[in-house]
Structure 1
Amino acid sequence: MTTRPSYVSGTSDKPLLGDTIGDNLDRAVATFGDRDALVDRTSGRRWTYRQLADEVNAVALGLVDLGVEAGDRVGIWAPNCSEWTFTQYATAKIGAILVNINPAYRTHELKYVLQQAGIRTLVAAPSFKGSDYAAMIDEVRPECPALTDVLLIGEADWHGLVAIGRGGSAAHLAEIQAGLSADDPINIQYTSGTTGFPKGATLSHHNILNNGYFVGELCGYTEADRICIPVPFYHCFGMVMGNLAATSHGACMVIPAPGFDPAATLAAVAEERCTSLYGVPTMFIAELADPSFGEHDLSSLRTGIMAGSPCPVEVMKQVIERMGMTEVTICYGMTETSPVSTQTRADDSVERRVSTVGRVHPHLEVKVVDPETGRTVPRGEPGEFCTRGYSVMLGYWEEPAKTAEAIDAARWMHTGDLAVMDEDGYLNITGRIKDMVIRGGENVYPREIEEFLYTHPDVLDAQVIGVPDERYGEELMVWLRMREGVSPLTPEAVREFCAGRLAHYKIPRYVHVVDEFPMTITGKIRKVEMRQVSVELLGLQDIAAARHA
């Protein structure tokens, strides 16, 4: 019998939405006007859908008064706050392209994004976590000729903009909104490449509104849901899977804190009776380990999403058992695909939900291909994950050559992730093509070893990398975070734990115990930085510098 190819398309009895984001929000306001829409825990403010629309429309008309037009780029550089959400929907209503700027950026990166996107207007927090945003903006502004207006949240210019907008014409805003197309670009998100400058993934209303909507559908959202969003808005996880999933279903968005804080997140869930909680695995690990965990009543939780990086099976099981998130789903995707391509379903078995990234999303196609030939591999064989459909970005902003490298002639997005599709269409992400370690000719996938090390009772978190080795080309190293109160594991102890249970070439030679891993602002582990540190730590600079064919 011939094995079926690793290809599947997502069917649905629900059609794609043809709205713009502004029209979709207006529809939610008309239906759910008096229901809670947004709670900003830090400032103690909350808005119903009708009140949210008033704020959004005021910011939209304020931007129009500044001269912002459809297609102009409006940057936002701020942590999670209500003003971020107002700006997101306000720019969508007038057809301006919102450019998300990573809160962790410094002047070098800020200048690059301001220049590359041609940002006209910048909405920014004055400061965050010791970073003086206002001073950094002043430093780079002379080199950014397109930048005409800077609005600092909470300061006079911002308040002035909102005040002017409140006096603006609703009819004029409706006229602008009516002239927009769902296929217009509406958002640029810069993806942090491991080399060179980030690329600006350009997304349309149609891309992100539908992705948020179908994420919400698979979470079973209704107007009764309250979604706790500790993941950053500047990333798709926050602004699409969080905000757009909520507003397309009349649900409530809850902002627990400006940046991730495990205790504040748990308190927000308990006090706001949240039914859904989002996070990358490291966030859930931190919440489960927080000393205040037992003090919070999490009984309102029903669902949520774990995504952003590979989800350890043991952590997923604890989220279900200890946090009561019995319908929690795993999502897989990337910024360039709006972001979600696959998701587990609430009626999937626990085994499926803790060991796969689910099945293809509605209205999308996915396939697994041989990275060398591009041919679809049989089910059960590893290859590169590719996806096609409404979610694939318009392209990288003003970078056609880089766009062509990622999206082929048939509009398949090549993710760079290694995946295996089983007979039922469920997918496992087994690593990055670039993360794969080749030790003495053997292909080693760090994810497999990490999953195994999570089963050690003293290990809180494990990350495996390849480091240079004279004999094998690469050798394995594991960075470990230990549970509180236990002794650090030695290389000998790790070898003993793995012996007889992992192939010898998969057993890490080097062990490094740390309190924290180097992380991106979205909670992804920076393995590139870990490798650099490890080379120094182990004195492997000469081997690393050696050239190979």
Structure 2
Amino acid sequence: MKLSFSTRGWSDCTWDELVDASLEMGFAGIEVYDLFKQQNFVGKGCAFDKYNTRATARALRDKKLTLPVFDSSVDISLEGAVDEAKRLIDVAGEIHVEYVCFKAQKGEESVVKAALDELVPYARALEVTILMETSGIYGDTARLTAMLDEYASDYLAALWDIHHPYRDNGEQPADTIKNLGAYVKHVHMRDSDDDGTYNLVGEGTMPLDSFVLALSSIDYDGFVSLEWKPEWMEDLTDMDIILPHFVNYMERFEDTRGKRRTMYLNHDGTGEYLWKKDELIDLTFPQVLDRMVEAFPNQYAFKYTTLDYTRTYEEFRDDVDNFARALVSMGVKPGSKVAIWATNVPAWYITFWAATKIGAVLVTVNTAYKVYEAEYLLRQSDTHTLVMIESALDSNYREIINELCPEIKDTKPGEPLHCKRLPFLRNVITVGFDMPGCLNFDQAFDRAELVPLEKIQRMADEVRPNDVCNMQYTSGTTGFPKGVMLTHRNVVNDGKCIGDRMGLSTADRMMIQVPMFHCFGMTLSMTSSMTHGATMCPMPYFSAKASLSCITQERITCFNGVPTMFIAMFNHPDYRKTDFSHMRTGIMAGSGCPPELMKKAAQPDEMNMTGIVSVYGQTESSPGSVMTTWTDPLDWRTETVGYEYPHIQCKVINPYTGEEMPDGHIGEFCSRGYNTMKGYYKMPDATAKTVDADGWLHSGDLVMRDENGNFRVTGRLKDMIIRGGENIYPKEIEDFLITHPKVSDAQVIGVPDKKYGEEAMACIILMEGEEMTEDEIREFIKTNIARHKVPRYIKFVDSFPMNAAGKILKYKMREAAVEELGLQDIAK
């Protein structure tokens, strides 16, 4: 907030005296009242006569003072006020005063609307915004809001005179701001006693703290202007007392002189970040973006190397606001489900931030889905609006939607869709292609003008941190996906903690090659970057060649990936041509991460990712719960998944008894805290099985905590092999196999056995050009690992079945092994 004062009541002062007073007392602006009635302002030779007006405005700019608004007593509820109003708008347009204020005190609203019908287009042509004061017939701010909504113009808004709605209509500040929200462009501050007698600001009975709190709730950064008339207190007429008193009172509130928020420097002083490490922030996604724009407006948010999309944080918010307006024009409301079915194209990010800004829920759709899976997700999620590209991999989304919604071809683009198989779906927006019955992304953007920006801001103000912002569907490694409901508080803070532990700041440039439909992209990459002012360089889809090129071109400092991505990059012909000199940190996660592979990436003469980190969690925990820090010892960062986040509790239990296990013993990982999901969408029974009555989220993963408090993942409960009563943990064998110089990757699964119940089977991918026999592998294992853990079956493969998030599907491997080994009868 910035402070100004109204010239109302100071008509005996010259303009120069008012300017000097504002500079001396720390005001940022002067609000001019009834310009044409103040002869000491507009008289011949005065500051605002027709020959001096521009020079006066120029002089103010040189002194870093603003004319925020021309206030007036013009009452447009009375006939004949339009010409006088236009005269004031003319002067405002000439010297670039942003706002002019009119009143509606005594007349009829029909007269007001007739005047505005003429004045709003007139003001728009001169780029001046009309403010209607919250007094007279508009002391009822719900009525004023209804009128503003009716016009839906960026050139018509509100001046909140705090006195009238509160004293005349009994409105609490929170109710006023709930009504007006972002329509508030200027504020009049004054104080009074219960009987209506005016008093110095802070010495009456008006709840001024509540007014300022209400303004903070919309992140108001405009002017708060003191209104004062000396006759209000006959014994107090001295400007040198009244104005400094107001300034001193308002200094108790943050940011009233445009003070910059505290910034923190990164480890080497090359970048900044906004929020203190290891502390939670009670903000929504739209508030996070607003704070980034406020702090780093010209910092690049996005720089694509393979697509034509580069935006600063401020430019990106403009795109988000316009698409949010478009979504509202298409019937999207708070709580509506907006699905995005796309690779990491710009529309993905715009859709996410636009949907969350208006309180809608962003539903992520796996890019590998085919018709059966897509129908399940879109129907189960009650998706209202679908944004999609044409195809990816071997899935043709156009064909799938045409099959699911044959009604779409008979629907007029922009009109609500009614589809029998997807009864909640109303809109399909296409990205990069046209399709009958659909608006394309550009056409949707054009609808922004149908909804005023103020309405979007008001909707954003209604969003709360505990509201669901995302439904992230589980990756389906153990069954059909469930819709995990994640809140703004879940994801914002999980992403912030990740960025804290990576040491991110405005100095970082993160390449995003992991898919955005997965938490690895949405939280660990995008949200960690966006909460630290970093620049993102997304790849529409993973390509080792394109990623290596991006690293050199954009001097990338960090990137995340699953092990197979790192392996593909290491093995690419362009690897040795890539400039890794700016690389600093990154996350390897998503499936079992071989320590030797992580250590290789960390070497200065390899990827130079000296601050590589590991993280562990699950979709249901937003997703991270434990993580290493980029400054931890390398062995911690490559051989463990780290320690719990701040404000998160973690424990290891016996999965059968619930007893907490001591350090050094394997058990099921459980966590609880701010990152725990709200639940599975429309699946209360599944939620109850996963989150117990005490709030502990049961992961189904087997872990061990060491003496340093770091966790080591040993496998899945369902992956654990029980051979003749002995527990075998596949990850232990996998980590050992990967140490063989000829082995590129390995996965161990359990298969049914008549004698022992289960036997182990090792599936191995060899390094390119290498050969091995089963006996060589067995001998290698036998020499170093207990005999009962040596896999009975060895199989050499070229790849492992994976989902689009890069997770290996062991249940698919088991199914295939049962068939190949002829174990169907035993499996039964």
Same fold (TM over 0.5): yes
What residue number does 1:187 align with?
A: 470
Q: Quick check: 1:145 aligned with 2:440? A: no
What residue number does 1:442 align with?
A: 726
Write the distance in 2 (CA, Å) between the matches of 1:304 and 1:417: 24
Write the distance in 2 (CA, Å) between the matches of 1:250 and 1:13: 14
What residue number does 1:352 align with?
A: 636
What residue number does 1:124 align with?
A: 388
Write the distance in 1 (CA, Å) between the matches of 2:622 and 2:431: 27
**Cα shift at 1:166:** 5.5
The answer to whether the 8 Å contact 1:490/1:511 transfers is: no
**Cα shift at 1:542:** 2.5
Alignment of 1:314-463 (within 5 A): 314-321=596-603, 322-463=606-747
SS of the counterpart of 1:325?
A: coil
Write the distance in 2 (CA, Å) between the matches of 1:351 and 1:366: 21
The answer to whether the 8 Å contact 1:232/1:259 transfers is: yes
Q: Quick check: 1:526 aligned with 2:809? A: yes
The answer to whether the 8 Å contact 1:58/1:168 transfers is: no
Instruction: After superposing the two structures, state which structure 1 stretch, 534-543 or 214-223, moved more.
Output: 534-543
1:310 to 579, 592, 602: 592
Deviation string, structure 1 residues 379-408 (Cα, Å, up to 9, x no partner): 111111001000000000011110000000
Q: Quick check: 1:295 aligned with 2:577? A: yes
What residue number does 1:274 align with?
A: 556
Deviation string, structure 1 residues 131-162 (Cα, Å, up to 9, x no partner): 21011012113301110100011245121111
Instruction: After superposing the two structures, state which structure 1 stretch, 503-512 or 88-97, moved more.
Output: 503-512
Alignment of 1:74-85 (within 5 A): 74-85=338-349
What residue number does 1:507 align with?
A: 790
Matching residue's letter, 2:392: F
Matching residue's letter, 1:33: P
Q: Quick check: 1:90 aligned with 2:373? A: no
Question: Structure with the greater relative contact order (CA < 8 A, sep ≥ 6): 1 or 2?
Answer: 1
Equivalenced residue count is 532
SS of the counterpart of 2:560?
A: strand
Instruction: After superposing the two structures, state which structure 1 stretch, 107-116 or 281-290, moved more.
Output: 281-290
Q: Unpaired runs of 5+ in structure 1?
A: 1-11
Write the distance in 2 (CA, Å) between the matches of 1:57 and 1:526: 39
The answer to whether the 8 Å contact 1:420/1:427 transfers is: yes
Write the distance in 1 (CA, Å) between the matches of 2:663 and 2:391: 50
Matching residue's letter, 1:276: C
What residue number does 2:460 align with?
A: 177
SS of the counterpart of 2:392?
A: coil
CA gap of 1:48–1:312, structure 2 versus 1, over 3 A, is same
What residue number does 1:3 align with?
A: none
**Cα shift at 1:194:** 4.2
Write the distance in 1 (CA, Å) between the matches of 2:394 and 2:759: 38
CA gap of 1:96–1:360, structure 2 versus 1, over 3 A, is same
Write the distance in 2 (CA, Å) between the matches of 1:121 and 1:179: 21
Matching residue's letter, 2:752: P
Q: Quick check: 1:245 aligned with 2:528? A: yes
Give TM-score, length-normalised by structure 1. 0.95
SS of the counterpart of 2:614?
A: strand
Write the distance in 1 (CA, Å) between the matches of 2:673 and 2:364: 23
Q: Radius of gyration: which is bigger?
A: 2
Deviation string, structure 1 residues 181-224 (Cα, Å, up to 9, x no partner): 11101100111334542110000000001111110011001111
Write the distance in 1 (CA, Å) between the matches of 2:433 and 2:732: 50
CA gap of 1:380–1:72, structure 2 versus 1, over 3 A, is same
Matching residue's letter, 2:470: N
Write the distance in 2 (CA, Å) between the matches of 1:34 and 1:99: 30
Write the distance in 1 (CA, Å) between the matches of 2:665 and 2:784: 22
2:765 to 467, 476, 481: 481
**Cα shift at 1:285:** 1.6
**Cα shift at 1:13:** 6.3
CA gap of 1:193–1:129, structure 2 versus 1, over 3 A, is closer
What residue number does 2:189 align with?
A: none
Give TM-score, length-normalised by structure 2. 0.63
Matching residue's letter, 2:294: A
Matching residue's letter, 1:461: D
**Cα shift at 1:116:** 0.9
What residue number does 2:398 align with?
A: 134
**Cα shift at 1:293:** 0.8
Q: Quick check: 1:227 aligned with 2:516? A: no
Instruction: After superposing the two structures, state which structure 1 stretch, 85-94 or 157-166, moved more.
Output: 157-166
